[in-house]
Amino acid sequence: MAVKYKLTKINDNITNKEQVKYSVTTVSNGNINLDALAEQMADASTFNYGEVKGMIENLTRMIAFHLKDGYTVTIDGLGTFSITAQPNREVEVPSKIRAESIKLKSISFKPSPKLKEKLSDIEFTKLK
């Protein structure tokens, strides 16, 4: 199965050039949730569904635990998780930023070269 995509027109609001440009936007075929993954992994291994689901849930807890403790988390073959932060409000003077005024912005994920390699033969098809 191929990944569907559509072309999205890019508006150039900065230079006002007449040349039209397009960006590629991938279109999801749906969502695979934890239950489906655990079922598929159990079918492909000697572990049962409950064991696989429990291991994934525990992995999620462990990743969160170590991210909260200031670590990045690398899972060989998958990638690296890290956090990004931002102040609660705009601050013009750096000395006004305190730990209490910083919040989690996002969790970043950088795929491993091994994961990227597994996707090197990916196929795309234009959405009709």
Compute CA 90 distance to the chain's CA centroid, rounded to the nearest angstrom. Answer: 26
Average pLDDT in the chain: 91
The pTM score is 0.80
Query: What pLDDT band is residue 71 in, cutting at 50, 70 and 90?
Result: very high
pLDDT at 61: 98
Mean pLDDT of 82-111: 86
* 110 within 8 A of 72, measured Cβ to Cβ: no
Three-class SS of 31-93? CCCHHHHHHHHHHCCCCCHHHHHHHHHHHHHHHHHHHHCCCCEEECCCEEEEEEEEECCCCCC
Task: Give the tens place of pLDDT for each residue, 33-56.
Answer: 999 999 999 999 999 999 999 999
